Structure 1
Amino acid sequence: MKINKRLTASILLAVSVRAEFDPLRFVDPLIGTNNGGNVFAGATLPYGMAKPVADVNGQNTGGFATDGSGVTGFSAMHDSGTGGNPSLGNFPIMPQICPDDVIDNCNFLVGSRAVNYDNASVKATPGYFGLKLVNGIAAEMTATRHAALYKFNFESALANSSGTKPLILLDLTDLWQSRQNATVSVDESSGRIRANGTFLPSFGAGSYRSFVCVDFAGGSVNDTGIWVNNRAGTVAQDLYVTRGFNNFYLEAGGFVMFDSLSSHTLYARVGVSLVSTEKACQNAEKEIPEPTSDFANIQSAAEKVWREKLSPVSVNATGVSEDFQKIFWSGIYRTMLSPQNYTGENPLWNSDEPYFDSYYCIWDAFRVQYPLLTIVDPNAQSQMVRSLVDIYKHEGWLPDCRMSLCKGWTQGGSNADVVLADAYVKNLTGIDWNLAYDALVNDAENEPLEWSIQGRGGLQSWKNLQYIPYLDFDYLGFGTNSRSISRTVEYAYNDYCVSVVGKGLGKTNLTKYLTRSMNWKNIFKADQTSFINGTDTGFVGFFQPRYLNGTWGFQDPIACSPLTDFCSLTSNPSETFESSVWEYQFYVPHDMSSLITTLGGPDEFISRLDYYYESGIADISNEPVFLSDYSYHYAGRPGLSTKRAHSYIPSSFNTSESGLPGNDDSGAMASFSIFSQLGLFPVAGQNVYLISSPFFESVNITHPETKKTATIRVKNFDPTYTDMYIMNATLDGQTYTKNWIGHEFFLKGQTLELTVGSDETASFWGKGVDDLPPSLSLSAQLLF
C-alpha cells in the first residue's frame, strides 16, 4: 500500500495542533461580573461546593463584581448568576494590619472594613482568583471540592503600616446578613477557628446550617480572641450570638493575630460543610494536607479537571475572532458552576444517591442548561436527575427551585417534569424511571398544601375548568395566587411531558394528560388587541386571564415586557411570570403547529414574531424568550431563526465584564449563547434540536460515554457571517431536508454538513411541511 507522505504530515500536524490547544486560554470567569450578570468569578471545580472569591459591598449576589466596590471579606461558598438576594458567602475572613498593632484600631464591621481593590490586579482563571487591595494586601485563592486555600501576602501593606502583626478576622455572617444564630470558637495555640450558624436561603423557605473550619500556616500565632460590634478581646475565645432584640443584627466573630510570617505570606485553609464543623475540618485536612506547599498543585489539579470537562468539545475556529471563542468556551465553563454537587453533605436524609443543590432555578435552567449538560456531560446530568428523584423520594415533591438544603419558590409550572422528560427521551442512564414517573404523576395529580415551594396549585380548577383561573378559589393549597396565564401555559407542557415518559414506560390512562396539554387554548381570547403608546400593533388574539365563571379579565399584552415594568413574584405579581403575554404566546413547545394555526397561519405567525422583536417587546435578558428566537423553524423559515440568534451575539452576549443581557441564572444565559454558536437549539423535553448555522467552520462533540464524535461542518463558511443561511444539508453524506435533528446525532456520532449562503429567501432547505419540527396535532409527525 502506498503512503501519501504529504497527507500523513498534514494529519500529524493537525493532531499536534489539537493536542496543544488549551480551551482554558479562552475561559474568562470575569464575563458577566458587572451590570447584573451576577456571575461567580472565583476558584472552583466543576459543580464544586467550595467557591472562594472576594466579597464586595457592591453587586455581591455572586460575591465579587467588577464594579469597583470595596472588598469586605473572602468567603468560600457562593452561587453563580442568580437573581434576588445575595446567596451564601458564609463566614468571610478578612486580612488586616491593625495600626500600631492595637486590636481595637482594626476595623471589624462590614461597613468600616471594606477596602477597594486595584482593578488591574484582578486575575481569574479556572481554579484560581487573585487581586490586590489598595492597602497593599495581595490575595490569591484556589479550591478543591470542599475546601478553599487562600494565600495572603502582606509585604507591601507592612511597608506602609505602623503595625507589624497581620490579623485575620472571621465574621459570623453571610452576604445577605441573614444569620439567625451562630457560634465561633478560636484555639489559642493553633489559631484554628471553628464556626457554625443558621442562615436563610436567598430565594426560598426555611433555614439551613453551615459549618466552617479555618486553619492558618506560614506564621506564628501572636494572639487570638473574639470581637463584637467594633471591639475585640483576647480573654474569651468562644462566642454565641443570636439575631438579637427586634431582629437587631449583631456583628461578631473571631480573630487571630500573627507575627514572624515566612516571606510575608500567610495561608488560610478553609474547609466547608453542611453537616458539622468536624466534617468541615476533615474535608480541609483530607483535600489540602499541606497548605504552605499545596497551592500550585491544587490550582494545577483544578485546571486539569476543567480541561477534561471541556474536552468533549472541539471547534475549527479558523477566521473566528478570539472574542467569539471566549464567549463560547467561557459559556461552557459557566454551565458547570451549578448545580453544585453536595453528595455526602446532605444532613437531611441518608441515601446512596447523589445529592445536588443550587437548582437555582429550574424554571430558568430546564430550557437550555440541562440539555447542554446532557450533551457534554451526561454523567453529571444523570446524577442531577437522580438527585431530583431522590429529593422526591424523601421530601414528597420534585423541586422547582432549591438552594442551601431549602425549598425555593416555585416560579411557573412544575418544570422538573420537563427535566425528567428530557433525560428520558435522550436515554440518560442510571435513573429509576418508575420512581421518576411516580414523581411526575404526583405533580400532575396532587396539590401540596404549600404550592409556593413545590408542585402545582389550582389543580382542582385545572382538571375541571381546563385552565388556571384569574383569582382562583383554591382551598386545597396555598401560594401566590397570580400567574394564571403563565401557569396555564406551563402546566400544559408539564402534562405533555408526563405523557411522554408514561408512554415510554408502557403506562396507561395517558389520554387525560394529552388532553390537558391542550388547555392553553382555553385562555386564548381571539378578539384581544394590543396597543403600544396608544397605537394598535395590528395583531388580534392573545392569551388573557379568565375568571372561574369563564368570563375574561384583562392584562395588557405588553405588560411585564421591557416596554413596561418587570413583574416579579413578590413586588408586583401579575398573570404572567417575569414575562409578557406577548412572550408567552409563543410557548407551546409540543404543538407549535396548532399554535401557528391559532395565530392565523405561518405568514401571520412570522409577522407577529418579527414585530415582537422589532418593537422591543422581546426580553433577551430572561429565559422565556429563548425558544421564541427559534420559533421561525415551525413556520418553515429556519433562516430567520439563524438571523435572530446572530443579532444577539455579540450585541447582548460578549466578552466584556457586562457581557450578559441579564443575570446568568446558573448558566442558562451561557447555554443559550453556546447552542446558538453550535448551530443546534434544544426543545427541552423532546428529542428535538432545531438546526441553525454554527459560528464555527466545524464543531465536534465526542459523547463522553459512547466515545463517538458528532460533527457539524459548514461548507462555504464565512467568518463575517454574511453567508449564514443554510442552503442545503447532508447527514452522513445523504441529503437531509429536515430543519431539526434528534439526540441520536450525538449518540451515533453522525456528521451534519451545512452549505450556507447569503440569501435566506433563495433557500428551500427546511421549509417544506415534512421538514418542520414535530407537533402533536400533525398526524404525520406525532410526538406521541
Structure 2
Amino acid sequence: MAILTQSHTSTRWSSHPALDEVDPFIGTAATDLPAPRGLAASWWWPKPQVGNTHPGATSPLGMVSACAYSGAYPTGYGKYGKNTQGVPEEIYDRLQASGFTHFQQSGTGMIRKYYNYVRVTPMIQPLDDLGESWALTDEEAHPGYYAATLDTGIRCEITVGEKVAVHRYTYPESRSARTVVDLSCGGLSIDRSRTVPLRAQVELIGRGQAQGTVVVEGVPLSFHLEVDTPGWRQMLWHDRRLIDGGTRLDFDSIRHTTLRPFGLVLIGPARAGQTVELRIGFSLRGPEQARENLNRECGTGLPAFDRVREATAERWADHLGRVRVEGGTPARRTVFGTALYHSLIKPCIADDESPFWPYGGPFAFDVCTMWDIYKTQLPLLEAIAPNRAVDLMESLIRVAEEEGNFPIGYRMARGADRFFRQGSALVHTALADIHALGLGDLDWSWALVHMDDDLRRQYGEDYFDKGVVHPISHTLDLAIAHHCTSRIAKALADDQLARNLAVRSGNWVNAFEPGTGLLQDSTFYEGGKWNYSFRLMHDMAARIRLAGGDAAFTGMLDAFFGHGAAPVRQPGLSPSPEEMAAGYALNRFEGLNNEPDMEVPWAYHWAGRPDRTAEVVHSALTWQFGTGPGGLPGNDDSGGLSSWYVWASLGLFPVAGQDLFLLHPPAFPHSVTQFSAGELTVETSGHTETPISSDGLDAEPPVQYLQSATLDGKPLDGPHIPAHVLHRGGRLHLHLGAEPSSWGGSARPPSLSD
C-alpha cells in the first residue's frame, strides 16, 4: 500500500485507489455545471441548486463527524443561507470558520435539527474574541480527514473514529495561545436555527481531562475529553470570563434568553510549530461510556491522531473497495468514487448508544429522510453493507416500539421528525427487500406486528376507511406498503392477513384519473402531478393499461422527459413565484434535482422501451454531475442522490420493495460489486468510453443500448433480474451496441397482474 507524506506536516498515512478517487469538496458549493446539451437541456430543476454537502471528517456510517464551522446552512460549513429553490444566496463572501464542530447533516435541506455541537476553537486572541470568524485557506480533505489554515496562522487538522474525534492544531509562536471548547454551541448562525442546550454539566477531572453532558433537543450528549498540553493552564469559563479555581459548572435549565456561552479553555505559551492534540469521546449514555469509547478507539499511547486517522482510512478503503470499476475518464471516476463515499456517510449507526431504551443493540439516527434514501441508498446498503442495513431496520423497529410508529425521518433528537408530508410507510419497502434477500436475523413476527399497525396510523386511517387519501401520493405509498407487508405475512403463513393486505394494496387505482393516466388533482409536496404519476408500482402492467397501453404510456413518458422539446431556463437567484409556476407548468422531469421522479427513467422497461431508459440515464450521467465543489445538480439528500449515481453508473437499478433489479447500459466497461451473498462482476462487450461534462464536452456523446445479456453464461429474457438472484453474485455480461435493439421489448419486468 502506498504511503503519502503531507507537505504541511510529517504525517504519514495509507493511500488506497478507492480513497484517491474521492473528492469530499464535491457538492459543497452552488451548482456549477456546463450548460447541458440534448435531452438534459429540457429538464427543469426547481429545488436548491447546491449539493449541501460538507468536506469534514467522517467514518463509514459512523456516529461522529467534524468540520469547520461558519454557521451556514444546512451543515454549518460553507457560506450559504437557507434555500428552498433556485440558486442559493451567499451570506458570507468567503469561506470562514469560528472553530470546528461535531455532528453535521450531509446534503440535506430543511430538516430543523442542525447539530454542530461542541465547538473547538484554537486561538491566539483573547477569549473575548471567541465567536469571531477567520478566513479558511489551504483546505484539504480525504475520507476521515479534514484540514485547513485559519488566517491567524494556526494549522487545523481533524480526524474521527466511529465515536471519537481527534483535533490537532499547529500554532505560530505566541505568548498566550488557547484551545477553547464551547459546550453551548449548536445549530446555525442564521435566524431561528440556533440550538440551545436545555441542561448542561461539565467538570474538570484531572490534568488535561474533562467530562460532562449537554442535553440538546432532548438528548443527553456526553463527552470525555483529553488533551496533552504540558505547562498550559486548564480552566472553566462562563460568559467569556474565566473561572479561576472552579472545577464544575451546572446549568439546570437554559432558555434562549438566559443562555451565556460556557465551556473550558487551555492557555499557555506556544513556540512556532508546536502542536496540541485534543481527543473527545462521545456517548449518548453518559461520560463513563464516552471515556470507554475514547479509550477503545484512541488507545493509551500518545499521540493518537495518526492512529485514529489510519484506522478510519482503512475502514473507508474497506467500504469503498466493495465496489470497483474499470475504465472511464478521470473525471467520471472521481465523480463515481465521491458518490460512493457520500452514499456511506449516513445514516449514523451507533451500537449500544440509544438514550431512549435501556437495552443494547444498534441505535440509528440521521435517517434524513426515508423519502430521500429508500429508493436508492437503502438498496445500496443492503448490497454492500448488509449487516448495517439490518441494524438500521432493527433500530427503526425499536423506534416503532417506543414511539408508536415508523418514522419517515429520524434525528439524534427526542421525538421523530416524521415528515408526513413527504411520504407514508416507506420503511415497509426496505423491510420487504431485506426479508426477500434473507438478510440478518430480525424477528419477523414482531416486525410484521409493527408493519401492520403502522399502516393504520396517520394517513393510513383514511386509506383503510376510504381507499384513497390526499395528498394523493400517499395513496401510492400506502398501496405499495400494503403489498410489501402482504408478502411478509404470506411468508409467515398468516394467510388471512396477507389476503386482506393484498386486496387493499390494489387501492392504488383510486389515485388515478380515469382516462388520463395521471394522478388526480391534489396537493403535492415538492413536485406536481406529473412528477408523481410515474411511480414504479407493484402492478405496472395494470398501470400501463390504465394509461391506455404501451404507446400511450410511452408517449406520456416522452413528453415528461422532453423528447424534442426546446431547452429550458433554470431558476436563478431568488426566483419569482411566476417563474416557478411557469416551470412547474412544463410538467417536465426535474432531473436529479428532486426525489419523486428519480426512478421514472426505468418506467420505460414495463412499456417495452428500455432503449428510452438508456437515453435518459446516459444524459443524466453526462450532464448533471461533475467535478469540483459545484458538481451536484441539487441537494445530495443524505446520500440518496449519490446512491442513484452509483447504481446508474453500474447499469443496475433496484426497485424498492419488489425484489427486483432493472438493467441498462453501464457507464463503465467492467465493475465488481460485493453483494450480500457473493461478488457480482458486470462485464460488457461493445462498450464505448464516453466523457462527461467536466471533460469539456460541447455536444451530447453517443448513447449505447443493450442488445442482450447473460448471467453466468445463461441468456436473460429481458433487462431485469430478481434482487435475491443478483445478490448471490456471479458474472453478468451485457452486450452493447450503437442502435436500439428489440431485445427486452417483449419480456417485461414482473407485475402483480401478469
TM-score, normalised with respect to structure 1: 0.80
Structure 2 counterpart of 1:165: 177
Q: 2 CA distance for matches of 1:281 and 1:498?
A: 42
User: 2:105·2:366 contact (CA, 8 Å) conserved in 1?
Assistant: yes
1:752–1:348 CA distance, 2 compared to 1 (3 A) = same
The secondary structure found in structure 2 opposite 1:402 is coil
User: 2:55·2:141 contact (CA, 8 Å) conserved in 1?
Assistant: yes
1:211 is displaced (CA, Å) by 1.8
Structure 2 counterpart of 1:507: 494
Structure 1 counterpart of 2:310: 300
Q: 1 CA distance for matches of 2:703 and 2:634?
A: 29
Structure 2 counterpart of 1:495: 482
Q: Is 1:280 matched with 2:251?
A: no
The secondary structure found in structure 2 opposite 1:309 is helix
1:62–1:728 CA distance, 2 compared to 1 (3 A) = farther
- Per-residue CA shift, 1:515-563, capped at 9, x if unaligned? 2222222232236xxxxxxxxxxxx45322xxxxxxxxx54xxxxxxxx
Q: Is 1:408 matched with 2:417?
A: yes
- Per-residue CA shift, 1:137-184, capped at 9, x if unaligned? 1100111221111000112xx3xx7x5333424241212422243435
- Per-residue CA shift, 1:295-319, capped at 9, x if unaligned? 22221111111111223322222xx
1:77 to 84, 92, 103: 103
1:167–1:44 CA distance, 2 compared to 1 (3 A) = closer
1:311–1:746 CA distance, 2 compared to 1 (3 A) = farther
Q: 1 CA distance for matches of 2:280 and 2:271?
A: 19
User: 2:198·2:255 contact (CA, 8 Å) conserved in 1?
Assistant: no
- Per-residue CA shift, 1:492-521, capped at 9, x if unaligned? 111111111112222212233222222222
Q: Is 1:175 matched with 2:194?
A: no
1:181–1:354 CA distance, 2 compared to 1 (3 A) = closer
1:296–1:191 CA distance, 2 compared to 1 (3 A) = closer
1:693 is displaced (CA, Å) by 0.6
- Per-residue CA shift, 1:308-344, capped at 9, x if unaligned? 1223322222xx1111111222222222211112212
2:514 to 501, 521, 526: 526
Structure 2 counterpart of 1:559: none
Structure 1 counterpart of 2:24: 29
1:580 to 528, 537, 546: 528
Q: Is 1:107 matched with 2:109?
A: no
1:434 to 445, 462, 471: 445
Q: 2 CA distance for matches of 1:367 and 1:623?
A: 9
The secondary structure found in structure 2 opposite 1:765 is coil
Q: 2 CA distance for matches of 1:32 and 1:240?
A: 40
1:62–1:729 CA distance, 2 compared to 1 (3 A) = farther
1:617 to 588, 594, 598: 588
The secondary structure found in structure 2 opposite 1:39 is coil
Q: Is 1:605 matched with 2:527?
A: no
Aligned length: 666
Q: 2 CA distance for matches of 1:208 and 1:257?
A: 31
Structure 1 counterpart of 2:537: 589
The secondary structure found in structure 2 opposite 1:776 is coil
1:733 is displaced (CA, Å) by 2.1
1:291 is displaced (CA, Å) by 7.0
- Per-residue CA shift, 1:614-656, capped at 9, x if unaligned? 2463222122112112111111111211211111124222222
Between the aligned residues of both structures, percent identity stands at 26
Cα RMSD for the two superposed structures: 2.5
Letter in 1 for 2:739: D
Q: 2 CA distance for matches of 1:747 and 1:51?
A: 31
Structure 1 counterpart of 2:5: none
1:249 is displaced (CA, Å) by 4.7
The secondary structure found in structure 2 opposite 1:431 is coil
User: 1:154·1:265 contact (CA, 8 Å) conserved in 2?
Assistant: yes
Q: 1 CA distance for matches of 2:320 and 2:308?
A: 19
The secondary structure found in structure 1 opposite 2:667 is coil
Matches for 1:543-558 after TM superposition, within 5 Å: 543-544=519-520, 554-555=521-522
Matches for 1:57-206 after TM superposition, within 5 Å: 57-61=71-75, 63=77, 68-84=94-110, 85=112, 87-98=114-125, 103=126, 106-108=128-130, 110=131, 113-118=132-137, 121-155=138-172, 158=173, 163-176=175-188, 177-187=194-204, 190-200=207-217
Q: 1 CA distance for matches of 2:587 and 2:95?
A: 32
Structure 2 counterpart of 1:542: 518
Q: 1 CA distance for matches of 2:686 and 2:307?
A: 45
- Per-residue CA shift, 1:217-267, capped at 9, x if unaligned? 144223523131x55453545434577567465333332212356942111
The secondary structure found in structure 2 opposite 1:421 is helix
Structure 2 counterpart of 1:627: 599
Letter in 1 for 2:431: L
Q: 1 CA distance for matches of 2:353 and 2:268?
A: 32
1:617–1:243 CA distance, 2 compared to 1 (3 A) = farther
2:687 to 717, 722, 729: 717
Letter in 2 for 1:777: S
User: 1:180·1:242 contact (CA, 8 Å) conserved in 2?
Assistant: no
Letter in 1 for 2:639: G
Letter in 1 for 2:588: I
Structure 2 counterpart of 1:677: 649
The secondary structure found in structure 2 opposite 1:342 is strand
Structure 2 counterpart of 1:757: 737
Letter in 2 for 1:216: V
User: 1:226·1:237 contact (CA, 8 Å) conserved in 2?
Assistant: no
The secondary structure found in structure 2 opposite 1:95 is strand
Instruction: Kindly indicate whether structure 1 or structure 2 has the higher relative contact order, using CA contacts under 8 Å at least 6 residues apart.
Output: 2
The secondary structure found in structure 2 opposite 1:777 is coil
Structure 2 counterpart of 1:640: 612
User: 1:77·1:90 contact (CA, 8 Å) conserved in 2?
Assistant: yes
User: 2:615·2:703 contact (CA, 8 Å) conserved in 1?
Assistant: no
Q: 1 CA distance for matches of 2:483 and 2:281?
A: 44
1:41 to 45, 55, 63: 55
Letter in 1 for 2:319: K
Q: 2 CA distance for matches of 1:249 and 1:20?
A: 45
Structure 2 counterpart of 1:360: 368
Q: Is 1:53 matched with 2:64?
A: no
State which structure, 1 or 2, has the greater radius of gyration over its C-alpha atoms.
1
Structure 2 counterpart of 1:4: none
TM-score, normalised with respect to structure 2: 0.83
1:358–1:179 CA distance, 2 compared to 1 (3 A) = same
Unaligned runs of 5+ in 2: 1-13, 31-49, 81-89, 189-193, 563-585, 691-700
User: 1:63·1:175 contact (CA, 8 Å) conserved in 2?
Assistant: no
Q: Is 1:254 matched with 2:264?
A: yes
Q: 1 CA distance for matches of 2:630 and 2:621?
A: 13
Letter in 1 for 2:184: L
1:246–1:665 CA distance, 2 compared to 1 (3 A) = closer
Q: Is 1:336 matched with 2:344?
A: yes
1:61–1:273 CA distance, 2 compared to 1 (3 A) = same
User: 2:196·2:254 contact (CA, 8 Å) conserved in 1?
Assistant: no
1:21 is displaced (CA, Å) by 6.5
Q: Is 1:776 matched with 2:752?
A: yes
1:505–1:166 CA distance, 2 compared to 1 (3 A) = same
Q: 2 CA distance for matches of 1:76 and 1:58?
A: 14
The secondary structure found in structure 1 opposite 2:27 is coil
Letter in 1 for 2:309: Q
1:145–1:339 CA distance, 2 compared to 1 (3 A) = same
The secondary structure found in structure 1 opposite 2:211 is strand
Q: 2 CA distance for matches of 1:243 and 1:73?
A: 26
Letter in 1 for 2:178: P
1:400–1:142 CA distance, 2 compared to 1 (3 A) = same
User: 1:58·1:69 contact (CA, 8 Å) conserved in 2?
Assistant: no
Q: 2 CA distance for matches of 1:127 and 1:492?
A: 41
The secondary structure found in structure 2 opposite 1:543 is coil
Q: 2 CA distance for matches of 1:226 and 1:77?
A: 23
Structure 1 counterpart of 2:249: 239
1:51 is displaced (CA, Å) by 1.2
User: 1:703·1:747 contact (CA, 8 Å) conserved in 2?
Assistant: yes
